[in-house]
Structure 1
Amino acid sequence: MKRAYIETYGCQMNISDSELMAGILAEQGFVATDKPDDADVILVNTCAIRDHAEQRVIGRVGQLQQYRREGALIGVTGCMAQRMGENLLGRAGGVDLVMGPDAYRQLPDKLAEVGAKRTPRPALPLAFGTHAPQQPRGLTVLGFDPHENYEGVAPKRISAVSAWVPIQRGCNYRCTYCIVPYVRGDEKNRDPVAILDEVRALAQDGVPEVTLLGQTVNSWEHDGWSFPRLLREVARVDGIRRVRFTSPHPNGFTRELVEVMATEPAVCKQLHLPVQSGHNRTLKRMLRRYTVEEYLEKIEWVREAMPNIALSTDVIVAFPGETDEEYEATLELMRSVRYDDAFLYKYSEREGTPATRMPRDQFVPDEIGQARLERLIATHRAIQAELYAAEVGRIEEVLVEKEGRRGGLQGRTESNKVVTFEGPVELIGSFAEVRLESTSGATFQGELFHAMAAA
């Protein structure tokens, strides 16, 4: 019986893909393990959004070589695998399999193929003057399949409390900084019947929360169905108490979608809406296809319909050509909107994206970019601390997800805020009313007020 270890880097879609690969391997008799030293197959599922993420993976593959020398197969999958291809085979010591996101159905067969080529490690030390046989070059399985949505594959879920439900793969936008369309291909939308069947099955298994996933999730459409219609139908599945979706694009964010969010009780009053920049000139160079004014209008729609909604966003600073004035406009937007959470980055050059072809004299020096990022982070954290402090004393409904790292229990509020509190482990998988007693600025510490019925 083969054992497989999967290590995941990157976004929620990568987490979902790791569950997918685990399900495909389980169908072929593989058993999951949470330790690489216990594995026959080690898969590193990767992200290509930023150079830092790729360097982390290369370093990690180097660390894992000790297990490869002992006979384990090492595969690199995901976006970085698709982007770098054969160049990964010899990096950090060696890789047996490089596989892109559209090829996971082939995973068991390709592992068997590369395993058959591997020379077993000698049982005894080699005689003086002899050398271990050289291992054959690994396999690459890349390319895009315009129809691959992995229908019919049962993912192996890592949580029995909250589930990712991918409804879309790939992306039709071509934002000039973004590598995603080049490593995941064009947009492919799943059939709504299959999506709803999956959600109903999760509800029957006792999973109370689902998150609909897509690169630009609100652009999903299929046979006359729109995303707002799908969201409403998912929210009405018996047994589903919470529905989230990520990440929408501002372009397709409509009043109809706001109306569904506001009127369906199961849809969480929480929204992640990436803005990327607070200046129209930068947005135009990024090819985001909306203006700051249009973005802020949509924020107004949301807050008018749901005054207590929790907002989060993505921002990139130091994009090529960004001036001090444009950067200051981003800071002002952050102060104006006052996001509950934000994912803040310095521009990372990605080979193959249009932004790399901009004149080199427009690229922001690294030290200036880093200073801009640090100031943005400080601005956001100050706002976040004020917003969180204002919630201390409230009693919130928390979906209890797991034991906390430092003891107690951990869960999330409807607004997706993390809360830790003391309580019996039997509460995991159920809802509890928790009084928010204090905050660290990013999470809350609470006190159990009332244990509710199991989810």
Structure 2
Amino acid sequence: MFLKALKGIGRGKTNKNLIKPFRASFSKPEATQDSVKEKVKNIPNIVEFLNKTRRVAPETPADYTAGDRKKYLIETYGCQMNVADTEVVQAILEKAGYEPIDTSPALDHNEVKARKEAADLIFVNTCSIREKAETKIWNKIKSEYKGLKKRDPDKIIGILGCMAERLKEKLVDNKIVDIVAGPDAYRDIPRLVDLIRGSQDVEDKPKAINVQLSVDETYADIIPVRTEQNGLHAWVSIMRGCNNMCSFCIVPFTRGRERSRPIESIVNEVELLRDQGYKDITLLGQNVNSYHDRMSQDITSSHQNSEGFNELFKTRGGEGARFADLLDKVSAIAPEVRFRFTSPHPKDFPDPVLEIIAERPNLCNQIHLPAQSGNTDMLFRMRRNHTREAYLELVDNIRAKIPNIALSSDFIAGFCDETDEEFADTLSLLEIVKYDLAYLFAYSLRERTHAHRRMEDNVPEDVKQERLRAMIDVFKKNQLLKQMDEVGKYHLMLIDGVSKRSDTQFTGLTDTNKRVVIDNSLKVHESWKDYTSSAGSSLDLTSPSVGDFVKVKIEDASQNTLFGTPICKSSISDFEVSMKDCL
């Protein structure tokens, strides 16, 4: 929601005549609480929102430069999409003339603290998926940010992301928070900041809020300012929002309706990253594999679900570029760049998606397949709209088409009305599938969701925690067995840094997303061809470095780490050839 008083604020200047009516709505004692709450309550509910198609978020003018080199920093919490959103916000702020302050993980606590003191603006990109994530932010507001504001009343504190969207009313009421901006309002942040900076009354500052969701905002035209430190891994947002409306999930209410970026804008961003030397790109979306560019003229693919899966709601039909088409395009233009994607839904894995992953060596052998529960009745209460049997058939289909695939999943313990028998089905699914990685949580009730409105959170907390521990035990037992199965196998490892535990070791990821550690003092051959032609000779060996793809043989394994011996440097395509020689 962006109040009309903001319209007309000049570039870098504040219209004081417009400040008064805006402040009257937020700051006068007789109007502040009731008027703000009333405006927030009038925001459309999700049903009304899904039926509206007009663009509502205003855009900052292209030449807007109100920053005057004021310094900002952003703290990011939650999922990879929040990391990508932070990179978008940085691009918007820097274009408007604001200067970033680095708070990289390499800095010690005291240095980070000093930089926060020096910042003119602090933004917090937040997560609402579980209560614990929100509690952490509230605690920071009450302690750390309160102290910062006390020492520097002019410092601006802004809350961004899902928590801003979900808890807008409470955040507006909070005296520490100056700006509240939802995920679709980031273009407007410079003007929101300008409004706060234009106020001369430190004791009675206005609040700036824009939490209106959009049906078409994808930030496709914004080139993100990359925050990843080593220049190897990059996030590329391909779609936003979610239409699935699972009964436990707040995402459709905080992120809005699904909409996809034009395929050409994604291809252009990937080409830029390729040319800049990035080696591992993750395609992002709240429901990433439901990607659908309806405006695509040269690609006309029809919608398909995974076998045995159905949509909870009728989908918008029509042809256009689908997820398999996108994977085809990006993998073809950057054959020596790895591609991953997250977070998908099991219903959107038709055969064309699996076949292109199996065909292209640079599409990683890694699929996230959120199950949430192993019981059919529970799945329908969760509004997942598929059976246990359909899920297991999908697992079999994936493994048949992509034999070396690594599977990961999400599970919830203690969802509404879950019985011991239903939970036993979840444990058995974990036992049958034997995931390489799993994200396991006790159920956390979220307001506004279907479960909050129609169901009872009636599984006691101690039972939730007991079931969570049982899930963890089953998963970890099988995870270690999966790790030990890797011993003796070859992998292509992208070296992405020095190990945190030892500066004598390199660390990196396989295409199955497994962490590998190697001795960084060992030298290797320049290529597999050199290795095979040298017959084991130590002549002309070279030291690998960060950014190199290296073929490694796995010698040992722990719960979360593989330990390998480096053999030779390699490209992605050469690794595929070398693996045929190893058979």
TM value normalised by structure 1: 0.92
Confirm or deny: 8 A CA contact 1:430 1:454 kept in the other structure: no
Which residue of structure 1 aligns with residue 145 of structure 2? 64
Q: Given the alignment of the two structures, is residue 158 of structure 1 paired with residue 253 of structure 2, yes or no?
A: no
Please point out which of 375, 378, 386 is paired with 1:282. Answer: 378
What amino acid does structure 2 have at the position aligned with 1:346? A
Structure 2 counterpart SS, 1:49: coil
- Per-residue deviation at 1:405? 2.4
- Per-residue deviation at 1:247? 1.6
Greater Cα offset, 263-272 or 430-439: 430-439
TM value normalised by structure 2: 0.72
Which residue of structure 2 aligns with residue 111 of structure 1? 193
- Per-residue deviation at 1:437? 3.9
Tell me, in whole angstroms, the C-alpha distance in 2 between the residues paired with 1:30 and 1:450.
Answer: 45
Deviations 1:415-434 (A, max 9, x none): 01122334279722221233
Which residue of structure 1 aligns with residue 430 of structure 2? 334
Which residue of structure 2 aligns with residue 97 of structure 1? 179
Deviations 1:104-161 (A, max 9, x none): 0111221122122265xxxxxxxxxxxxx52424322111121211121110112321
- Per-residue deviation at 1:440? 3.2
- Per-residue deviation at 1:447? 4.1
Confirm or deny: 8 A CA contact 2:365 2:406 kept in the other structure: yes
Q: Which runs of 5+ in 2 are unaligned?
A: 1-68, 104-111, 295-319, 522-542, 574-583
Structure 2 counterpart SS, 1:265: coil
Deviations 1:8-54 (A, max 9, x none): 11111111101111111121232322132332211110011000000
Confirm or deny: 8 A CA contact 1:277 1:315 kept in the other structure: yes
Tell me, in whole angstroms, the C-alpha distance in 2 between the residues paired with 1:38 and 1:401.
Answer: 31
Which residue of structure 2 aligns with residue 42 of structure 1? 122
Structure 2 counterpart SS, 1:117: coil
Please point out which of 163, 180, 187 is paired with 1:80. Answer: 163
Tell me, in whole angstroms, the C-alpha distance in 2 between the residues paired with 1:168 and 1:12.
Answer: 13
Structure 2 counterpart SS, 1:143: coil
Tell me, in whole angstroms, the C-alpha distance in 2 between the residues paired with 1:24 and 1:437.
Answer: 47
- Per-residue deviation at 1:317? 1.3
Confirm or deny: 8 A CA contact 1:89 1:137 kept in the other structure: no
Confirm or deny: 8 A CA contact 1:218 1:252 kept in the other structure: yes
1:190-229 aligned at under 5 Å gives the runs 190-223=261-294, 224-229=320-325
Confirm or deny: 8 A CA contact 2:82 2:161 kept in the other structure: yes
Q: Given the alignment of the two structures, is residue 142 of structure 1 paired with residue 222 of structure 2, yes or no?
A: no
Structure 2 counterpart SS, 1:164: strand
Structure 2 counterpart SS, 1:106: helix
Please point out which of 464, 472, 481 is paired with 1:377. Answer: 472
Which residue of structure 2 aligns with residue 253 of structure 1? 349
Confirm or deny: 8 A CA contact 1:211 1:244 kept in the other structure: yes
1:306-321 aligned at under 5 Å gives the runs 306-321=402-417
Which residue of structure 2 aligns with residue 171 of structure 1? 242
What amino acid does structure 1 have at the position aligned with 2:99? V
Q: Given the alignment of the two structures, is residue 14 of structure 1 paired with residue 111 of structure 2, yes or no?
A: no
What amino acid does structure 2 have at the position aligned with 1:327? F
Greater Cα offset, 238-247 or 100-109: 238-247
Please point out which of 379, 387, 404 is paired with 1:291. Answer: 387
Tell me, in whole angstroms, the C-alpha distance in 1 between the residues paired with 2:173 and 2:561.
Answer: 41
Tell me, in whole angstroms, the C-alpha distance in 1 between the residues paired with 2:572 and 2:364.
Answer: 19
CA change 1:266–1:239 in 2 (3 A) is: closer
- Per-residue deviation at 1:222? 1.5
Q: Given the alignment of the two structures, is residue 325 of structure 1 paired with residue 421 of structure 2, yes or no?
A: yes
Structure 1 counterpart SS, 2:91: helix
Which residue of structure 2 aligns with residue 423 of structure 1? 520
User: What is the aligned-residue identity percentage?
Assistant: 38
What amino acid does structure 1 have at the position aligned with 2:176? G
What amino acid does structure 1 have at the position aligned with 2:135? Q
Tell me, in whole angstroms, the C-alpha distance in 2 between the residues paired with 1:118 and 1:442.
Answer: 54
RMSD: 2.0
Q: How many residues were matched structurally?
A: 440
Deviations 1:159-213 (A, max 9, x none): 3211111111011111000000001110011111111111111111111221111
Deviations 1:72-92 (A, max 9, x none): 21111000110000311344x
What amino acid does structure 1 have at the position aligned with 2:157? I
Please point out which of 176, 181, 191 is paired with 2:252. Answer: 181
Confirm or deny: 8 A CA contact 1:250 1:290 kept in the other structure: no
4+ runs of 1 displaced by more than 4 Å? 452-455
Tell me, in whole angstroms, the C-alpha distance in 1 between the residues paired with 2:161 and 2:557.
Answer: 36
Confirm or deny: 8 A CA contact 1:204 1:239 kept in the other structure: no
What amino acid does structure 2 have at the position aligned with 1:57? I
What amino acid does structure 1 have at the position aligned with 2:390? E
